[in-house]
């Protein structure tokens, strides 16, 4: 659906208005945006800035002001600005944008023709991100079919059909055909000339969930290898990435392993959602378990690459946002998505999908600050963290043992989305619990021990009894940090 001429004029005017309100000399944010994000040469499972400082991505999907489906809004940039300011105010440092969504899409009228007005929206979005100290992952495409009678209108891009002036007869031809590949390379070149040396850009992602397209692995995987190499050639200082759909069935395990270790794929990404329609039982259970399991699966396939996880909660078969989001005013789904991946060995916090209908609507931005507080001053490449699990009768204990720090996230087993959102049982106040750290501290000494309650935003000192840690009273979850050495 195309915007009207009047809408286009209003949208262009808004871009000019927003541009006039942005500072002409944008100061560096807290992470010094002059530095690029890279895979750490000290530990390739983690990320850092190009000056060597650690970078732990903390953020979410902010695809567009109207998602992937709408025609764009006259107040879209202002809305994006508001969301980015909310994230930055809560110590976030990362967002994901779909350049192919209607609000940003520069290639929407004819294949190979790029809209300067839409490009100026992207310019201003990146300027806002820089002002807020956010890095931006830019996803280039998301369409799944090219049809005059699409199954999913929001995922259709018929302008690439030969009949419409494009280069392809179908999706397989788009990936395999020489003319279509050349066209895509030219599009990358157009973006490279405009943004090729921009450190605000976290990285370039070729496609959102490329295995959801109407084509076969033998079409899109070779194309992915070719275009990852092209990304590295045209954007040598940015990360190059690709993504697959939700890891919700056993049949995608092999594909995920092949995809995660593709040459040039700098970050092994995994998507998995709470989905009661998924064939994998783990996708029905506690959110911390389904996301942690996904990270462990990918690390087993790609043990020497950074892993990032996307998650959320959906109605069966991804038919819509989770209906129980409206009951999650505390944000337990978001909390688990943020914490579980990192404490299972991922390079950053997990990234939620439903930024508008869940995070913003329920006023949950403070959860990003709580995760940031829990990992403040950690340097994962120096630590060379090894993920581990501790057995406990009441808690699921996720541990990261490093060279200098032992950090643990303790999650109440009896508090889940089912108990709190479905059955409306409030979380228990856990008192008098202890944690036996003998296994993790068998070969090292420790000094300071502190506990962080992310629900109360409160730190407290812990006095150890040998290698037994008495835990302060808490509900839902608790973080423990020990300085170790010797």
431 and 297 share one domain? no
Whether 462 is in a domain gets the answer: yes
Question: Last residue of some domain: 333, 350, 376?
Answer: 376
Helix (H, G, I), strand (E, B) or coil at 87: helix
Model-level pTM? 0.92
Q: How far is C-alpha 51 from the geometric centre of its chain's CA atoms?
A: 23
Q: Compute, in degrees rounded to 10, the torsion defined by CA atoms 131, 134, 137, 143.
A: -70
Q: What does the pLDDT read at residue 26? A: 31
Q: What does the pLDDT read at residue 6? A: 30
Q: Which helix (H) or strand (E) holds 231?
A: helix 217-234
Q: What does the pLDDT read at residue 485? A: 80
Q: What does the pLDDT read at residue 33? A: 59
343 and 430 share one domain? no
369 and 397 share one domain? no
329 and 437 share one domain? no
200 and 221 share one domain? yes
Q: Show Cβ contacts of residue 442 under 8 Å, excluding neighbours closer than 6 positions.
A: none
Whether 14 is in a domain gets the answer: yes
Contact 202, 58 (CB under 8 A): no
Contact 305, 260 (CB under 8 A): yes
Question: Last residue of some domain: 330, 350, 376?
Answer: 376
Domain that holds residue 434: 388-485
Q: What is the DSSP string of 437-472?
A: -TTTTTT-EEEEEEEEETTTTEEEE---BTTEEEPP
Whether 105 is in a domain gets the answer: yes
216 and 282 share one domain? yes
**What phi, psi does 484 have (nearest 5°)?**
-120, 165
**What phi, psi does 126 have (nearest 5°)?**
-65, -35
Whether 382 is in a domain gets the answer: no
Q: Show Cβ contacts of residue 74 under 8 Å, excluding neighbours closer than 6 positions.
A: 7, 10, 11, 14
Q: What does the pLDDT read at residue 130? A: 97
360 and 409 share one domain? no
Whether 381 is in a domain gets the answer: no
Strands 395-401 and 405-412, by their bridges, are antiparallel
H helix runs in 22-170, sequence order: 76-89, 116-132
**CA atoms of 276 and 379, how far apart (whole Å):** 37
Whether 444 is in a domain gets the answer: yes
169 and 268 share one domain? yes
**CA separation, residue 304 to residues 107, 242, 324, 351 (Å):** 36, 17, 37, 21
Question: Last residue of some domain: 321, 356, 376?
Answer: 376
Q: What does the pLDDT read at residue 32? A: 57
Q: What is the pLDDT along the chain (486 residues), one digit of tens a residue?
A: 333 333 333 343 343 333 333 332 233 334 555 799 999 999 999 999 999 999 999 999 999 998 655 445 458 999 999 999 999 999 999 999 999 999 999 999 999 999 999 999 999 999 999 999 999 999 999 999 999 888 899 999 999 999 999 999 999 999 999 999 999 999 999 999 999 999 999 999 999 999 999 999 999 999 999 999 999 999 999 999 999 999 999 999 999 999 999 999 999 999 999 999 999 999 999 999 999 999 999 999 999 999 999 999 999 999 999 999 999 999 999 999 999 999 999 999 999 999 999 999 999 999 999 999 999 999 999 999 999 999 999 999 999 999 999 999 999 999 999 999 999 999 999 999 999 999 999 888 999 999 999 999 999 999 999 999 999 999 999 999 999 985
Whether 243 is in a domain gets the answer: yes
Domain count, the chain: 2
Closest of 123, 133, 136, 138 to residue 18, by C-alpha: 123
* Extended strands (E) in 1-75: 37-39, 47-49, 59-61
């Amino acid at each position: 659906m195309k915007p009207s001429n009047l809408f286009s004029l209003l949208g262009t005017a808004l871009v000019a208005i927003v541009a006039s309100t942005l500072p002409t000399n944008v100061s560096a944010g807290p992470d010094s945006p002059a530095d690029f994000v890279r895979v750490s040469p000290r530990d390739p499972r983690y990320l850092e800035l190009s000056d060597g400082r650690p970078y732990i991505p903390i953020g979410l999907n902010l695809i567009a002001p109207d998602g992937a489906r709408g025609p764009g809004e006259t107040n879209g940039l202002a809305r994006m600005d508001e969301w980015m300011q909310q994230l930055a105010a809560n110590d976030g440092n990362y967002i994901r944008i779909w350049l192919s969504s209607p609000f940003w899409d520069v290639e929407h009228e004819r294949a190979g023709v790029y809209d300067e007005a839409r490009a100026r929206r992207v310019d201003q979005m990146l300027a806002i991100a820089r002002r807020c100290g956010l890095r931006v992952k830019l996803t280039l495409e998301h369409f799944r079919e090219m049809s005059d009678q699409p199954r999913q209108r929001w995922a259709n891009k018929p302008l690439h059909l030969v009949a419409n002036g494009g280069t392809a007869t179908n999706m397989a031809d788009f990936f395999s055909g020489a003319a279509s590949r050349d066209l895509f390379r030219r599009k990358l070149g157009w973006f490279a000339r405009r943004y090729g040396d921009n450190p605000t850009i976290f990285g370039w992602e070729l496609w959102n969930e490329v295995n959801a397209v109407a084509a076969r692995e033998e079409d899109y995987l070779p194309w992915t290898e070719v275009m990852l190499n092209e990304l590295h050639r045209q954007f040598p200082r940015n990360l190059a990435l690709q993504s697959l759909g939700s890891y919700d069935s056993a049949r995608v395990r092999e594909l995920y392993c092949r995809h995660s270790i593709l040459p040039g794929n700098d970050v092994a990404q995994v998507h998995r959602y709470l989905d009661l329609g998924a064939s994998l039982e783990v996708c029905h259970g506690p959110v911390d378990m389904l996301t942690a399991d996904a990270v462990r699966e990918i690390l087993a396939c790609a043990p020497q690459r950074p892993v990032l996880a996307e998650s959320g909660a959906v109605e069966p078969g991804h038919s819509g946002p989770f209906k129980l989001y409206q009951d999650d005013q505390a944000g337990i789904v978001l909390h688990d998505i943020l914490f579980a991946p990192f404490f299972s060995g991922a390079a950053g916090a997990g990234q939620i999908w439903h930024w508008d209908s869940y995070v913003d609507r329920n006023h949950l931005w403070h959860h990003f600050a709580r995760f940031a507080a829990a990992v403040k001053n950690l340097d994962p490449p120096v630590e060379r963290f090894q993920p581990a699990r501790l057995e406990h009768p009441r808690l699921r204990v996720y541990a990261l043992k490093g060279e200098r720090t032992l950090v643990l996230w303790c999650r109440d087993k009896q508090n889940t989305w089912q108990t709190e959102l479905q059955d409306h049982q409030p979380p228990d106040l856990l008192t008098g619990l202890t944690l036996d750290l003998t296994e993790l501290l068998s070969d090292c000494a420790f000094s300071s021990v502190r506990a962080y309650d992310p629900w109360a935003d409160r730190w407290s000192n812990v006095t150890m009894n040998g290698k037994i840690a008495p835990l302060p009273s808490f509900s839902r979850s608790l973080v423990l940090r020990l300085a170790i050495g010797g």
